[in-house]
Structure 1
């Protein structure tokens, strides 16, 4: 028996595995493989655990990396925008930083934690 056979009726290749021919499948390659940041990695983990069908669809279509890079970029921009808006609304300025650095750090960390929760709820786990 041949190791590989080609079925002209459906245009697919099959490989001999033991006594059976198994369909040879390959995933499409993505055009660019850009690195995925923290937000994209979190969203990927969420999709793998809670939305397996969507994750598998993206993976098998070769669009997973592109999608995750886009999610990462949008999330980072949204996070930075939220932090800046919250700083302005709470009056956290460079003057406060020079006058009372400890308070500035505490309030900035609090704002970042709040913004992180918002972004996680709205984009990453939403």
Structure 2
């Protein structure tokens, strides 16, 4: 659009998803903003930043669930252990979750 001698861009934001960003999506967004500002700006200007972060967040959460299930099976963290010693079960599950999240952060969230 032109105003006098100046061309003014007619920027209209794309329709964004109403779904809030989860933890992993927010971490990916913050990582893009601080470490890859050019990509962050490009995604923002294209109107796909939030959708991209949501997609990464969903992928990360699914991978965490898959890794946790696999690790729990390999380490014999079962409902039987939960019935016998709840505190030990909680300790092991928390440890497994922390390891799964660390793997996902390195392989999915903090990558382009």
When normalised by structure 2's length, the TM-score is: 0.88
Check the 8 A contact 1:39/1:76 in 2, yes or no: yes
What corresponds to 1:97 in structure 2?
82
RMSD: 1.8
Q: Alignment partner for residue 79 of structure 1, among 40, 64, 67? A: 64
Gaps in structure 2 of 5+ consecutive residues: none
Equivalence map 1:25-44=2 (5 Å): 25-30=10-15, 32-44=17-29
Note closer, same or farther for the CA distance 1:21–1:94 as it changes in structure 2 (3 Å cut). Answer: same
Bigger relative CO (Cα 8 Å, ≥ 6 apart): 2
Distance 1:99 1:49 in 2: 46
Distance 1:67 1:30 in 2: 13
Q: 3-state SS of the aligned residue for 1:43? A: helix
Gaps in structure 1 of 5+ consecutive residues: 1-12
Q: How far off its partner does 1:30 sit?
A: 2.7
Equivalence map 1:9-24=2 (5 Å): 13-14=1-2, 21=6, 23-24=8-9
Which structure is larger by alpha-carbon Rg, 1 or 2?
1
Q: Alignment partner for residue 44 of structure 2, among 50, 59, 71? A: 59
Distance 2:42 2:18 in 1: 18
Q: Alignment partner for residue 46 of structure 1, among 31, 36, 43? A: 31
Q: How far off its partner does 1:106 sit?
A: 0.5
Larger strand share, 1 or 2 = 1
Count of residue correspondences: 111
